[in-house]
């Protein structure tokens, strides 16, 4: 029993500890909304980024944006700017900043901050007094942010 406990504890620690070299959400340095360096220390995977962008439980970018390079994605939104040609309008650093927290560039944006863990309004505190106080996990991991940026960088037209 003790051995199983310790194995479970080590596994839990590994799953909750940031990967070596990964920038945590609270340590991200923004320069005019842009994040100059990779959050993981390496490049993203564009194919994985496409999956994040079209998966409802992950980024679900298609819920708000039209993405012409992914015509197979059903029910694309039209409440946010189309992403076609986005790599021609923004640098990689600017795209990384927009995916991580668009409000650092566009203050009034309704786009969710995908790589943020604090500073949220918790309406439950006012209504029930039982809102959780611990930090919330980011919507996307650092690797998923880099993957989305890698896919966005393929969208030159």
| 18-118+136-152 under CATH 1.10.760.10, yes or no | yes
Look-up of token digits 């809102």: 131
Per-residue pLDDT of the chain (157 residues; tens, 9 = 90+): 565 545 444 444 444 444 557 999 999 999 999 999 999 999 999 999 999 999 999 999 999 999 999 999 989 999 999 999 999 999 999 999 999 999 999 999 999 999 999 887 776 777 777 777 787 899 999 999 999 999 999 999 8
pLDDT of 101:
98
Q: Identify the helix (H) or strand (E) that includes residue 4.
A: helix 2-16
Q: Compute, in degrees rounded to 10, the torsion defined by CA atoms 61, 56, 54, 92.
A: 40
pLDDT of 127:
77
Q: Compute, in degrees rounded to 10, the torsion defined by CA atoms 138, 29, 42, 98.
A: 60
Structure tokens at 140: 């996307």
Q: How far apart are CA 131 and CA 67, in angstroms?
A: 36
pTM of the shown model: 0.82
Contacts for 49-57 with beta carbons within 8 Å, 24 or more apart?
49/144, 49/146, 49/147, 49/148, 49/149, 49/150, 49/151, 49/152, 50/151, 51/147, 52/140, 52/144, 52/147, 52/148, 52/151, 53/148, 53/151
pLDDT of 10:
43
């Amino acid at each position: 029993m003790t051995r199983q406990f310790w194995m479970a504890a080590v596994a839990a620690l590994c799953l909750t500890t940031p990967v070596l070299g990964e920038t945590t959400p609270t340590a991200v340095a923004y320069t005019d909304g842009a994040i100059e360096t990779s959050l993981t220390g390496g490049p993203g995977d564009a194919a994985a980024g496409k999956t994040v962008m079209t998966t409802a439980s992950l980024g679900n970018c298609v819920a708000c944006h039209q993405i012409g390079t992914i015509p197979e994605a059903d029910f694309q939104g039209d409440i946010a700017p189309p992403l076609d040609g986005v790599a021609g309008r923004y640098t990689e650093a600017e795209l990384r900043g927009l995916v991580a927290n668009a409000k650092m560039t566009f203050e009034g944006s309704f786009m969710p901050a995908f790589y943020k863990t604090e500073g949220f309004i918790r309406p439950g505190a006012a209504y029930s007094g039982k809102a959780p106080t611990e930090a919330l996990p980011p919507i996307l991991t650092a690797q998923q942010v880099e993957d989305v940026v890698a896919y966005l960088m393929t969208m030159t037209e």
